[in-house]
Amino acid sequence: MLWTSIALPVLAYDSLQQPILGSRPPLPQPLSGFGTWNLNLSPENTTKAVSFAIQAGYRQIDAAAIYRNEVAVGKGIADGLKKANITRQELWVTSKLWNDHHGNLALAEEALEKTLKDLGLDYLDLYLMHWPVGAVREDKKAPYDYVETWRSLTALPKNKVLNIGICNFSPAQLEKLIGETGIKPFAHQMELHPYLQQNSWLATHKTLGISVTAYSPLGNSNPIYDGRNTLPPLLKNEDVLEIAAKVGCSPAQVVLAWGIRRGTSVIPKSAHEDHIVENLEAQNCKLSAEDLAKISLIGEKHTKRFSDPSKNWGVKLFEGLEH
């Protein structure tokens, strides 16, 4: 059964500690963003791709310590801001705490300071706990220490982290997190695409007022999933192609527009300038109710989660959710 409700009193993070923003209003999280996962080009080309994305109009960059490219991403942010003639306050930047820094506040602060230094930034708009597990130990088991880690994230300086959130949590884990701390995440980043729609789980977040960011929004088009690819390529799915031809959009734009229409923030990645622009223009792709219904049926025919390290880490992830 999918978990769809929670009856716990919760406090928003910003009700506990207000961001130090001066007279500037908070920047809302954009519905389109540029992902940097697996953007492992040469440092120069990674920097160029991030800079170009900002110049093309992206106002959200999604990064993470484990991507091992934050220095190059940070240089791209600096170059993009300069060439696009916008300020840091006009760009939403997300990064993530990796598993090896779960636990006490000192560990979280150490990770945050390194990320800020690598990115060349004074603050993050959003800092996420990347997984609800700690570092894999020598015995190949990863402890579930996410509640202590969450408390540590809530204690980070609010002038360095404006919002905090989570990634890849199960319903029971989210319930425990909120139940034991009373503080709900601002956002939850999870795998979402027409092959993994998670409609009930998404509805739960809307009820709780938790923003949702969709990673891998183009499904199995990411080459890293080739070994796990048991379904036809999403961007070659017959229904997606039919809708694309009808509305005059590319298959990628159709899939991204579907994600945006669901109210999720989508963060596709590409190293190619034409695809970077194409993905951003998905915001202008208009889908009808009939189109949306047809895409929903794709999920009823095919369901597949492509990112699942449960076996490798020796832990159970995504319990109660679609696989």
What are the residue numbers of the active site?
A: 67
User: What does each C-alpha distance from 178 to 9, 101, 153, 208 come to in angstroms?
Assistant: 8, 21, 13, 11
Q: State how far the Cα of 323 lies from the Cα of 306, in Å rounded to an integer.
A: 8
Residues sharing a CB contact under 8 Å with residue 227, sequence separation 6 or more, in sequence order: none
Identify the residue whose tokens are 């991507």: 67
DSSP letter string over 233-277?
Answer: -GGG-HHHHHHHHHHT--HHHHHHHHHHHTT-EE----SSHHHHH
User: What does each C-alpha distance from 26 to 21, 35, 65, 163, 211 come to in angstroms?
Assistant: 7, 22, 24, 10, 15
Q: State how far the Cα of 126 lies from the Cα of 144, in Å rounded to an integer.
A: 22
**Bridge partners of 128?**
96, 165
6, two tokens: 């929670």
162, two tokens: 């404006």
